[in-house]
Structure 1
Amino acid sequence: MAITSANQLELLQTAEAVAREKMIEPELVIEAMEDSLARAAKSRYGAEMDIRVRIDRKTGNATFTRARTVVEDEAVENYQAEFTADQARPYFEPSKDGRAIWLREGVAISEFKGNTPQAGDVFEEQVPPVDLGRIAAQSAKQVILQRVREAERDRQYEEFKDRAGTIINGVVKREEYGNIIVDVGRGEAILRRNEKIGRESYRPNDRIRAYVKDVRREARGPQIFLSRTDPQFMAELFKMEVPEIYDGVIEIKAVARDPGSRAKIAVISYDNSIDPVGACVGMRGSRVQAVVGELQGEKIDIIPWNDDQATFLVNALQPAEVSKVVFDEDSTSIEVVVPDEQLSLAIGRRGQNVRLASQLTGLDIDILTEEEESKRRQAEFNSRTQLFMDKLDLDEFFAQLLVAEGFTNLEEVAYVDLDELLAIDGVDEGTAEELQARARDVLEAANKAALENARALGAEDSLIEFEGLTPQMVEALAKDGVKTLEDFATCADWELAGGWTTVDGQRVKDDGLLEPFNVSLEDAQTMVMTARVMLGWVDPTELEPKDDDSDDEDTATEEAGA
């Protein structure tokens, strides 16, 4: 199939038709045609030749040229497509009929007087058009289709990449293995079966609204992933229904969902005259009901946000009433005490209420009844009392007196200011000094025993003398095989302080080696990095915070000097 004058205009018409169908630029289709014709021509003239094709955008006339690039003398590898400056000099002047032209860096050069060939120059001369056989024509067609598909994918990705995090409307096209393929206009999106609410089902041509969770560029084309279970889907629905949220007067601070069943959303108002909960509910519940209807009847608790974590948690556990909140600032866990009759309401069906409250606040919640809390406190009181009786050789009354005053361990008794012991009724200076002496003797004996045990287990002096580790800590590390400073430096912070891991959707507690000694994650990080610096594994200058302002000033000074 030769490209004759009869079908020259058909190239442009075909390019225009394909571009309209695929919604891409006609120029991309023409470039694909040029590339496909050039590849077909190479099969005729030789694959080692650099054959180029240009299609006139007005007439559709296709021009075939052979290109040769000027390279350095020793850099010639392909003699069919490259030549040296000396070899190019005879071709430097354009031919009389103008068929030969020179290109330098892609720009045609028409004046050559006083110039010589340079590396990078490209010499092109026309060659006869080729007759495309059946195989070559089929190959050219495949190249065009491939380039058009790539252009279509690029166009689709560019259109949807900025729509991630928004709600999109579409029409259901079909269902594949439980996944819903959705027509979203200029492309297709997928709603996976685990992203559908409950057991909802769709038929072809059903209209659907979903949240664009992710847009990825993959080998098979851009993939648009939708979700109806993502917490942000509900947040975006409220943004559409509540003008105050869209305008920024009310902000959604947190969302937790059990898709299709129940959800909690925390909101805050930056205008004292606007009630954030009332605005989200709307007149006679019109606004929240619109969201509930879209989410297949999902019950929604709208909760006022509060910067105080304890207050926010009390709100998050609604409708249950909370008697007391015990919060440890050094931990992410929190204890909530509720009346006995409120326990089932606080926990919710299958733990739903407390689970959503935990997701909303980001805290691990431990719910206790008033009776359970009372029993636990009594057990702690008795345990501490027995500790002081056994270790300090005190009678029960005096040991209970110490516990009642807030002393929980021997370290507090041994190293607290003497005045705090003297503040206890019936304790004089001699008694206080005797208490501290006994506590220190017990601690020193325990430290000595722990140290001897650690050495027996193989702990080296480099670990024993490391600042921040007590003898009991060294003993615990040695029992787990951490016996040298090098061993300690290879530990992860969570291995020392403990943490949480998600396994099959469930949070699993990881016990830390030093967790019983109340070593926080930050303390563990500091100790591990200090050990690595001491061993020369880490440059201490890399740990110093960089002053961006000073860096900018230094850079500006250097530029001014330059």
Structure 2
Amino acid sequence: MSSEILMVVDSVARQKGVDKDIIFQAMEAALTTVSKKKYGQDKAIRVEIDKDTGDFRSIRYWTVVPDDAELEEPEQEMHLSEARERDPEVEVGGTVEEDLPPIEFGRIAAQTAKQVILQKVREAERDMVVEEYEDRVGELITGVIKRMERGNAIIDLNRTEAILPRNEQIPRENLRAGDRVRAYLYDVRRTQSGPQVFLSRTHPQLIVRLFELEVPEIAEGIIQIRGAARDPGSRAKIAVSTSDDRIDPVGACVGLRGSRVQKVVDELAGERVDIIQHTGDPATFVCNALSPAEISRVVVDEELHTIDVVVNEDQLSLAIGRGGQNVRLASQLTGWEIDILTEEEEREKRNKEFEVYQKLFMEQLEADEEVAGILAEEGFSSLEEIAYVPLSELASVEEFDEEVAQELRTRARDALLNKAIAEEERLESEMDPSLMEVEGMDEATARRLVSGGVKSQEDLADSAVDELLDIDGITEQQAHDLIMAARRPWFEGGEQASGQAES
């Protein structure tokens, strides 16, 4: 039997590519199962195999508990006094053991052991697959399509199968069994039926990995891919840069007579690829990303993270692209919200903004139409900008002197103060007195809550933590504590009602 165990372990380890220690563990688990069938399922039994000789022993053991403790598992526990008759040095929490007679394997016992071993080996294989491919998430994977199932492609990766879901396939790409494909590994999941490896041919990172294969300068780190955006099967854009002024990153990615980019295009079923020069200047980067459209000018709003791009009428359709494709991909690539305008549209937009800001300054600063218009023309768009801009900057406006600039700053600050006072009064008038009665509440927090629509203790008790987190200045712990404090009367009321019913 000993030599047979060693032969089985060696054979299974070679066939399945599983570590021998795992096979030994599976054998021990199998022999334990057989031993329990013979000696009793309620007994604590383990089997130990000598990995050098293949000899094994079945061991029954008991956990030692104090003498005054009740034996919850009589077949697995033993009082300290009785245990010390067997082992004088044993302590509570330790174990006492005895060897069981060797197991004689019959046909049923052997079949049971085989089933346990196979199950353990399958679990080990699954764990190995998950561990291997979890470390490879983000890599380019090559495999052969084994079969198609309801539009999903099942890819043979030798050691396991991967799924290329229908929605991760390039539109109109005709995949068939036997085709060799490259795809991006984006997820590995453990399921009851085993590990599932998920691939994609539409992920933006797929095009990045393909260029890394075709362009040695990218693999070497001389050229960096700074972003990618795709409309799978139709068009893609990638942004590239380099710190070496001697290298043209766009030309290197295109290759001699377009050889490098063409290989990527062929791999992506004809998807057209625009290679864009990345720059640190958002305006220039956006203009590059909208290529081949010619841009007249851009207006950057860093606060809203938007860029207005102005083009001539004859460039409008080219900048937007078919179905908005060009501007959509450019926006995804740059991370900026892009608005394409013609000269006329941009002029109308600026005129409307001018009228809005001019009216604001006339009303809030009590300025005449001319002064308000000058402020709007100079790019001021809020009272805060006027109130806190350096005095020298405001005085540098050609039509203003220092006295006018100081007066405008003073009026802006007074207007902001009056606005804040009015807001405080509004919040106080809307606040229910019960809100201040909540334990841990202070005036500043109460005003924040009222501004967020929480005006009473009842409103607060009905709120969820996530809802309060949308209010500026409220932390998660603070939200949790305040909500629980507001709900306390519910529970106290319930206890009082219960006490009255009992009396």
TM-score bin (small chain): 0.7 to 0.9
Could you say which residue in structure 2 is the equivalent of 1:167?
A: 140
- Within the candidate set 97, 100, 117, 1:126 is matched to 100
Q: What letter is aligned with 2:14?
A: R
| 1:72-221 paired onto structure 2 within 5 Å | 72-74=66-68, 77-84=72-79, 86-88=81-83, 91=86, 116-118=89-91, 120-132=94-106, 134=108, 136-221=109-194
Whole-angstrom CA distance in 2 between matches of 1:531 and 1:14: 58
Structure 1: state its 5+ residue gaps: 93-114, 497-523, 538-562
Could you say which residue in structure 2 is the equivalent of 1:45?
A: 39
Q: What letter is aligned with 1:125?
A: D
The secondary structure found in structure 2 opposite 1:163 is: coil
Answer yes or no: is the 8 Å Cα contact 1:258–1:356 preserved in 2: yes
Kindly state the Cα deviation for residue 289 of structure 1 after the two structures are TM-superposed: 0.8
Whole-angstrom CA distance in 1 between matches of 2:31 and 2:121: 15
| 1:71-470 paired onto structure 2 within 5 Å | 72-74=66-68, 77-84=72-79, 86-88=81-83, 91=86, 116-118=89-91, 120-132=94-106, 134=108, 136-387=109-360, 396-397=369-370, 399-406=372-379, 408=381, 456-458=429-431, 466=444
Answer yes or no: is the 8 Å Cα contact 1:325–1:334 preserved in 2: yes
Whole-angstrom CA distance in 2 between matches of 1:239 and 1:138: 52
Change in Cα spacing, 1:493 to 1:21, as seen in structure 2 (3 Å) is same
Answer yes or no: is the 8 Å Cα contact 2:227–2:333 preserved in 1: yes
Kindly state the Cα deviation for residue 426 of structure 1 after the two structures are TM-superposed: 7.3
Whole-angstrom CA distance in 1 between matches of 2:344 and 2:104: 94
Answer yes or no: is the 8 Å Cα contact 2:90–2:96 preserved in 1: no
Kindly state the Cα deviation for residue 429 of structure 1 after the two structures are TM-superposed: 8.8
Whole-angstrom CA distance in 1 between matches of 2:195 and 2:31: 28
Structure 2: state its 5+ residue gaps: 484-503
Answer yes or no: is the 8 Å Cα contact 1:166–1:211 preserved in 2: yes
Could you say which residue in structure 2 is the equivalent of 1:21?
A: 15
Residues matched between the structures, number: 471
Whole-angstrom CA distance in 1 between matches of 2:83 and 2:411: 100
Kindly state the Cα deviation for residue 414 of structure 1 after the two structures are TM-superposed: 7.5
Change in Cα spacing, 1:416 to 1:187, as seen in structure 2 (3 Å) is closer
The secondary structure found in structure 1 opposite 2:135 is: helix
Kindly state the Cα deviation for residue 491 of structure 1 after the two structures are TM-superposed: 8.1
Whole-angstrom CA distance in 2 between matches of 1:90 and 1:237: 72
Answer yes or no: is the 8 Å Cα contact 1:260–1:298 preserved in 2: yes
Kindly state the Cα deviation for residue 194 of structure 1 after the two structures are TM-superposed: 1.2
Change in Cα spacing, 1:67 to 1:449, as seen in structure 2 (3 Å) is closer
TM superposition score normalised by structure 2:
0.78
Whole-angstrom CA distance in 1 between matches of 2:274 and 2:262: 12
CA deviation map 1:172-194 (0-9, x unaligned): 12222222221112122111111
Kindly state the Cα deviation for residue 218 of structure 1 after the two structures are TM-superposed: 3.9
Tell me whether 394-403 or 360-369 shows the greater mean CA deviation: 394-403
Kindly state the Cα deviation for residue 442 of structure 1 after the two structures are TM-superposed: 7.3
Whole-angstrom CA distance in 2 between matches of 1:307 and 1:373: 25
Answer yes or no: is the 8 Å Cα contact 2:465–2:476 preserved in 1: no
Tell me whether 245-254 or 380-389 shows the greater mean CA deviation: 380-389
The secondary structure found in structure 1 opposite 2:299 is: strand
Whole-angstrom CA distance in 2 between matches of 1:65 and 1:441: 88
Change in Cα spacing, 1:464 to 1:357, as seen in structure 2 (3 Å) is farther
CA deviation map 1:53-96 (0-9, x unaligned): 3455566555444344555444654444443554355655xxxx
Kindly state the Cα deviation for residue 340 of structure 1 after the two structures are TM-superposed: 1.8
Change in Cα spacing, 1:10 to 1:438, as seen in structure 2 (3 Å) is closer
TM superposition score normalised by structure 1:
0.71
